Amino acid sequence: MEVQRLIGIIGGSGIYNLLDVKESLKSETPFGVPSSDVEIGELMGRKVAFIPRHGKKHSIPPHMVNYRANIWAMKEAGVEEILGINAVGSLKENLKPGDVVVPDQYIDFTENRKLTFYDGPDVVHISSADPFCPVMSSELNNSSKKYGPTHMGGTYIVIEGPRFSTRAESKMFRQFADIIGMTLVPEISLANELGMCYGMIATVTDYDVWADTPVDAAGVMKTLKENEEKTENIVKDFIQKHTSERKCKCSERLKDARL
């Protein structure tokens, strides 16, 4: 009999509309309190864990999210794979508001975040050459294509926030990346450190300020709301068809990571 692994979702509160919650796990981790209790429930007949990244009332700004506590709490709950749901700005003309990107690389431009579980004396240097799980990414791409324009691959540049970029910064970032946001790092690298798979649905909400019209929070939320149903459909399709056999090598990231 095939064993189904527990999938963890980290994203917005809209996922609550999908999840039939059965259990709430209160977690006090070695790194503090997570954004919320880990909600365990069912989605498309599968067991799923969920944490709203910014808290249940969206009261935690991106630079204040306790990413270490969130990922640790997921791991303690038995999660082996993380599906991140992110809103991003576009740095390229062909990536339009409403499109979905399944990124395969990132550039860390954050400044003040706790980036690792290994602050010493146990020192670990994991490989981040290919940070996203290739199996999850392929499946997310296949699911997303059914519901609209989807771009497989791309580089996500992560800024500290909570402010948006200046025009000069945005023009610089365009030379190196495809999308821009505030929450991927250190979420992905912490999952990598614990040998967890990580895949992402990045929904484009706006053209960043290299374009004529400056980005603002109201515009971002408007596009997010318009695309909520599409995001939910992608998540449901992915969860329903996701393979239970772990064919990737994400769990081996700690191998040979110590000097």
Nearest to 19 by CA among 27, 10, 29, 28: 10
d(Cα 225, Cα 44) in Å, to the nearest integer? Answer: 22
Provide the domain count of the chain: 1
Residue 95, domain member (yes or no): yes
pLDDT (0 to 100) of residue 154: 98
Active site residue 256: no
Is residue 23 a part of any domain in this protein?
yes
pLDDT tens for 117-137 read 999 999 999 999 999 999 999
Catalytic residue among 99, 104, 108, 208: 208
Let me know how many helices (H) and strands (E) the chain has, helices first. Answer: 6, 11
Tell me what pLDDT residue 12 has: 73
In a domain, 250, yes or no: no
Residue 9 and residue 15 in contact, taking contact as beta carbons nearer than 8 Å: yes
In the predicted structure, residue 16 carries a pLDDT above the cut 70: no
**Is 208 noted as a catalytic residue in this protein?**
yes
pTM: 0.94
- Average pLDDT score over residue span 195-205: 96
Please say whether the beta carbons of 135 and 249 come within 8 A: no
Indicate whether 38 belongs to any domain.
yes
Q: How confident is the model at residue 1 (pLDDT cuts 50, 70, 90)?
A: very low
d(CA 50, CA 252): 24
Q: Which of 206, 216, 237, 256 is catalytic?
A: 206
Average pLDDT, the chain: 92
Rounded Cα gap, residues 188 and 198, in angstroms: 6
Could you tell me if residue 222 is inside a domain?
yes
- Considering the domain boundaries, does residue 122 fall inside one? yes
Do the beta carbons of residue 209 and residue 115 sit within 8 Å?
no
Full residue range of the structural domain in which residue 149 is found? 6-244
Give a yes or no: residue 217 inside a domain: yes
- What is the domain-level CATH number for residue 202? 3.40.50.1580
CB atoms within 10 A of CB 24: 11
Structural domain contains residue 252: no
